[in-house]
Amino acid sequence: MTDIEKKFGSIENAVKEAIKFHGKCKYTPGIIIGVYMLDFGLKKFYEEFKEKEGNPVRFNVVCETDWCLPDVFQILMHLTLGNRYMHIVKTDGKFAYALYDRKDGNGVRVFINLEKLNKDGEIYKFFTRTRDNIVHTDAKIRSLSNRKIFYEYMDIADKFEIFGYKKVHVNIPAKVEYLPAKICKICGESFLSKDKEICLTCSGEKKAYFTYL
C-alpha cells in the first residue's frame, strides 16, 4: 500500500480529491491519469531505493508540464510551488515528472509510454494532441472526448502499463537560493537581487507581463 492509498483509503478517493482541487469536470484526463501516474512513481521509487522504505522521505518533484499534473502533487502530496518543493521545467512540455528525495537528489522519472497505447484510441490522441481541433473551442465536444478517455483508461486492466520510468539524479537544489531584497530606484518596489539597483522590469531587461492602463 502506497502513501497515497494510506492517506485517502484508495486511489479512487485520491482521484476525487484531485478533481475537486483542480476545479474542472470529473473526467479531466490529466488529473485522473496523473493520480495513477503518481501512485506508480511512488511504488517504483521504493522498489528502486529499498533502503528508504519504512523511513520518512522528504520528497521534491519536477513537473515537465504545467497542465493538470502539478495539481496532483499539490493536493495529494503537498508539494507546491509556494513551499518550493515543486519545480516546473517546461523544456519540452512532456507529460512527465521526476519524484526524488530532496536529501540526495535521487529518484524516478515517470513518463507516458506511447508504445503501450492504442494509436487509434482517444488517450493516444490526447497525449499526442491529435484530437479534432474542435475540442479546443467546443466545451461539449471536449467533455465527450474527456469522458471517452476516462472509460478507455478504466477499461485497461493494468492501469500502470501505460507508464514508463527510469532512475534519475535531479540536478536542481532542494531549495532555491535565498536572495537579498533591494529597493528599485525607479519604481520604489522591493525586488530580489544580488547586485542590481533597478528591477528587471524597470530596466527593460525583461518584458513585463502587464501593461499599465
Instruction: Spell out the residues 6+ positions from residue 13 whose beta carbon is closer than 8 angstroms to its own.
Output: none
Q: What share of the chain is helix, strand, coil (3-state, %, to 5)?
A: 40, 15, 45
* Domain span at 22: 3-169
Is residue 131 in some structural domain? yes
Half-sphere exposure of 88 (CA within 13 A, CB side): 15
**Cβ atoms of 99 and 77 closer than 8 Å:** no
Gap between the Cα atoms of 2 and 35, Å rounded: 12
| Closest of 7, 9, 34 to residue 19, by C-alpha | 34
Residue-wise pLDDT tens for the chain (213 aa)?
A: 677 888 899 888 999 999 998 986 778 899 999 999 999 999 999 999 999 887 889 999 999 999 999 999 999 999 999 999 999 998 899 999 999 999 999 999 999 999 999 999 999 999 999 998 888 888 888 889 989 999 999 999 999 999 999 999 999 876 777 899 999 999 999 999 999 999 999 999 999 888 889
Is residue 174 in some structural domain? no
Terminal Cα-to-Cα distance of the chain (whole angstroms): 55
* Claim to verify: residue 200 and residue 143 sit in the same structural domain: no
Instruction: For residue 78, give the amino acid letter.
Output: H
Q: What are phi and psi of 182, to 5 degrees?
A: -125, 160
Is residue 162 in some structural domain? yes
* Claim to verify: residue 154 and residue 185 sit in the same structural domain: no
* Claim to verify: residue 98 and residue 140 sit in the same structural domain: yes
Question: Is 99 strand, coil or helix?
Answer: strand
What CATH number does the domain containing 39 carry? 3.30.1330.130
Domains: count for the chain: 2
* Claim to verify: residue 84 and residue 15 sit in the same structural domain: yes
Is residue 164 in some structural domain? yes
* Claim to verify: residue 96 and residue 198 sit in the same structural domain: no
Report CA dihedral (188, 191, 193, 196) to the nearest 10 degrees: -20
**Cβ atoms of 48 and 167 closer than 8 Å:** yes
